[in-house]
Amino acid sequence: MNIKNPRSSLENAGFCFCSAVPAAQQIAISRLLVCYPRQLNQLPWDNFLAQPAGFTPSPPFIQAYRQAVSTIDSISQSDTAIARAKGFSECVIALRRALTTTPVGWSLAVWFCWGRVPLGSIVSWLATAAFVWAGSLFVLQRVIGAGSKVDVHRSWVHWVAALDGFGWGLSTWFLVGYDPVLDAILMALLCGVTSINAQVYGTYVSAYYSQIGVQLAVSVLGLLTASNSPSALDFAAGLGVFIALTAYYSRAIAQRLMEGIRLQYANGLLAAQLRSALQKVELDAATDALTGQWNRRALDNFLKQQVELQTVAYQPFSILMLDIDFFKQINDELGHMVGDDVLRAFAHRLRADLRPGDFCARFGGEEFLVVLPQTALGVALEVAERIRKGIAQSPLLEKPRVQVTVSIGVSTMEQGQSIAELLARADAAVYHAKNTGRNQVRPSVNMPAQASGVAHQDFLM
């Protein structure tokens, strides 16, 4: 069974109220049923429909439910992989942007330390940090140039993050221990760097753990071994607690960010599918189902556009009205199925003989109408004659062998003329062609604009 609205059917079956289904999965399934109707329509929802509200889940129900969850999991995993790749690319770009502003942090640290820390220590730290910084920027530029692929460049980004943490962690080796107040300021600066990087690595949090892990290890080691600060142990403990809490809360934030990216992708895909479906609906609404040509609705709109163009730009246009000769005889002798095949083959050959920009529509029954934009009567007659010869030169069908001819009426839109009058003149020209032997082209010059219902009945064949 393949139903069109599985969500509604599940609710009718009491699925959302079944105590055997966890509440979180109820919400997830309800949401995904809306986002992924095409995939979920393939599931055996008849097992759900067979159950009344308030039921005890049967083995078929449980099996179908598990299959639904499995399908949802596979779809979700695909979206998660795409979101992860996108998040990685965004993280690489954000990291490069953050590294370009790193010298601002250095300047702040030097300003704090100036006059309190020996110049040699400041220069040593800056030189080491600048070397690491330049290498990191070079690597990131190469990664971005190669497309920032998570499976290929993941380790490179982790190395860049670790080196960034290493550069900042070295500040405790070179700058701490000379002034108690300065030591506290530098610890606050390291905490600020940690907080800022939490935003930078928000869409690829594993690299953030590399950054703060190395920064914490190098900083604590410097505080405990290289610095002479009396509060080294306190600073190390405080920095460790701050980084641990930041890492803990960053994980939850990162999960929400990745979920947002995944949903953004899913919604974009859904919107694209909706646009495609709407375009198909619009096309189906304007297309003749049998022949694949435009229908009367599309023809009416196109004729109105041509009239507007003629009024504004004085561009003439012509129409060809075509009627297959003796079509009723084909239906009577060979059957309507063969008649349908003839119409399809006729439309295909007609379309092949038209110029780019010409408009072909099925007018009704065995009648077709072609609009020739920016075409005067003389050129329209040439096009009509080419079509007439192309139809008559070879059979439309081989089995059974069916060869037809066509009568064509040609009419050109004149200033002050209505669409109804244009069609009436072309219609009169068609039946004049039929009345004088068929398989010919007739213009509507000096022909009264009348559509004879009697003539139409007389020449149905």
Of residues 188, 124, 137, the one with CA closest to residue 163: 137
Spell out the long-range contacts of 53-59 with Cβ–Cβ below 8 A and sequence spacing 24 or more: 53/13, 53/14, 53/17, 54/14, 54/17, 55/14, 55/18, 57/18, 57/20
Task: Decide: 459 and 434 in contact? Cβ < 8 Å.
Answer: yes
Backbone phi, then psi, for 437, in 5-degree steps?
125, -5
Sign of the torsion angle spanned by Cα atoms 432, 434, 435, 441:
positive
Exactly one of 366, 367, 385, 414 is catalytic; which is it?
366
**Residue 286: CB partners within 8 Å, gap ≥ 6?**
294, 295, 297, 298, 301
* Tokens of residue 350, six digits: 């007609």
Residue with tokens 């759900």: 48
Amino acid in the structure at residue 283: L
Alpha-carbon span 361 to 368, nearest angstrom:
6
User: Residue 398: enclosing H or E segment and its boundaries?
Assistant: strand 397-398
Task: Decide: 51 and 58 in contact? Cβ < 8 Å.
Answer: yes
Is 366 one of the annotated active-site residues of the chain?
yes
Alpha-carbon span 85 to 70, nearest angstrom:
23
Residue 398 β-bridge partners: 401
Task: Decide: 373 and 316 in contact? Cβ < 8 Å.
Answer: no
SS (H, E, C) 307-338: HHHHHHHCCCCEEEEEEECCHHHHHHHHCHHH
Annotated catalytic sites, by residue? 366
